[in-house]
Amino acid sequence: MKNVTASTRETSRAFTKLLRRVVEEGIEITITSRGKPVAVLVPYSRYKRAAQKENLEALFKLADRHLTRVSLEDTYRASREELEARGEGDG
């Protein structure tokens, strides 16, 4: 997998071209500001796989809690708190 670095200024000027490379070539583009990485453009499929992996890891953590005799109610409460902390809760 090829990784390209572009400054925020370069990204601003050539966003469409960079985005096309991400989609067509499958590269990752690390966007930097003052020489420090601040964001990454990645193909959507790669992003979805990473999100699914993160969700699976969270599920394993919950299962591990359950296997250590934590009540279902405690597991539910902990998962809701975690979702709300990440801004994904429904209120």
The kind and range of the H/E element at 74 are: helix 72-85
Q: Which two tokens stand for residue 73?
A: 């109610």
pTM of the entire structure? 0.57
The tens digit of pLDDT for each residue in 44-71 reads 888 888 878 877 777 777 777 666 666 7
Angle between helices 44-67 and 72-85 (to 10 degrees): 150
Residue ranges making up the domain that contains 28: 3-42
The verdict on residue 25 lying in a domain is yes
Q: What is the CATH number of the domain that holds 9?
A: 3.40.1620.10
Mean pLDDT of the chain: 84
- For 17-34, letters b (16+ CB in 10 Å) and e give ebeebbeeeebbbebbee
Beta strands in the chain (DSSP E): 3-7, 28-33, 36-41
pLDDT tens sequence across 18-35: 999 999 999 999 999 999
Q: Is 80 inside any structural domain?
A: yes
pLDDT band at 1 (very low <50, low <70, confident <90, very high): low
- Give the CA angle between residues 61, 47, 17 to the nearest 5°: 165
Domain membership of residue 34 (yes or no) is yes
For residue 66, is it within any domain?
yes
**Total domains present in the chain:** 2
Residues 53 and 79 in one domain: yes
